[in-house]
Amino acid sequence: MTTKTKKRRSPSTPTSVVTGGAGFLGSHLVDVLLSRGHRVIIIDNLITGSTDNIAHLAGHPDLKFIKQDVTEFLFLAGPVDYVWHFASPASPIDYLELPIQTLKVGSLGTHKALGLAMAKGARFLLTSTSEIYGDPLIHPQPESYWGNVNTIGPRGCYDESKRFAEAMTMAYFREHQVPTRIVRIFNTYGPRMRLNDGRVVPAFLGQALTNKPITIFGDGKQTRSFCFVSDLIEGIYRLMMLEGKEAHLPTNIGNPHELTMLEFAQEIIRATGSKSKLVHKPLPQDDPKQRRPDITRASKVLKWAPQVPLAEGLRSTIDYFRSRI
């Protein structure tokens, strides 16, 4: 028997639940939601997030923080209008150290967050990832591409947790008519990233700002594209608010401007004025050789495109990291 969701409310002050709201991306979303008149409830176990990311919001009358693992049953009194599921380790260091927790938050955590949305008649957004494309055989990557993922490799715990989360989200959409959204996030950078995050931006900046050698894996010809965090969050917000019969379909959000790792390292050295030299190390297993989003869908349905140039985004990111070193 199909369970119908409750009709979603449209109050003057909508309530948003943000799982992982004390993380890098989640905390920036919380800032935007509060600035746009939402009441926000953060649920985060702080396994990779930090209260430092939301310390500037202490005492805000429309913000509540709950320290809880989202793989456990989520009970909240009162109405909820939007559930933004951001909780998950998201860097190689994190998910290689926490493979089981990563799989659990993508599976059990997504199940619990979807259950909350269904119970409250809320709209649900899953933050998926470009990693679901694996080491892609199609370039750039459109949402129609099914991916090339090694399920038993060291990155499989993250890739498969997100692929399962997408399948679970679509199951709730089809069986329970939960209004769902899926965003596939490509490389994002900005203030509040952790220095020991393991991703390329904090790794390069941490090395450059201390004049240590910048580590290039492989020959450095593998490519990435980098989206500033404010651009990403704007795209995600527009996706959650999108109406229409195809709003549930996955949507890439990222910056299509592509750089090799060698080019990006040189850009970091110029931006920081660093004396760092480049050193090469073996390429990690299953590291994607190319990564660039096809943002045709986001451009068409969200009227969205990245606005912040790399040089501008790096300036504010470098200022943040200088204050942390």
Type of residue numbered 154: P
Conformation bin of residue 161: beta by default, left when phi > 0, alpha when psi is -120 to 50: alpha
Tokens 């679509």 -> residue = 170
Question: Of 36, 1, 5, whose CA–CA distance to 241 is shortest?
Answer: 36
Asked about 158 being catalytic, the answer comes back as yes
- The C-alpha atoms of residue 289 and residue 136 are separated, in whole angstroms, by 8
**Candidate list 82, 95, 133, 158, residue with the active-site label:** 158
CB 114 within 8 A of CB 178: yes
Tokens of 314: 């790096």
DSSP 205-242: HHHHHTTPPEEEETTS--EEE-EEHHHHHHHHHHHHH-
The residues carrying an active-site annotation are 158
